[in-house]
Amino acid sequence: MFLFKGLESHPRSFVKAVSWRTVGSIDTFVLGLLFSGSAKLAGAIAGTEVLTKITLFYFHERAWSLVRWGRREEPVATGETATLPAG
């Protein structure tokens, strides 16, 4: 199993993959319909690619979480608690 030390949790990566795949599947369906003229064929294409592309996107996200390039570090907590002014 891969060990990821990125800033994103596994559930967050999974939800992002599913939401992006929903948009992608709608796009695939529309393009399949335009090219083939068949809603049945377009649906079969869009339905088939859902699982493969969710899986690919998930692992793509997890791999990118290992790359430090272009990512800002989170501020280090000082242990002090901020207080709001009274009033």
19-63 pLDDT tens trace: 888 899 999 999 999 999 999 999 999 988 888 888 888 898 889
Does the residue 18 lie in any domain? yes
What is the spatial distance between Cα 46 and Cα 36, in angstroms, rounded to a whole number?
Answer: 13
Question: What is each CA distance from 83 to 11, 37, 76, 80, in whole angstroms?
Answer: 33, 63, 18, 9
Neighbours of 14 (CB within 10 A): 16
The domain total for the chain is 1
Does the residue 55 lie in any domain? yes
Contacts for 26 with CB less than 8 Å, ≥ 6 apart: 46
Contacts for 38 with CB less than 8 Å, ≥ 6 apart: 32
pTM above 0.75, yes or no: no
Tokens 């083939």 sit on residue? 36
Does the residue 57 lie in any domain? yes
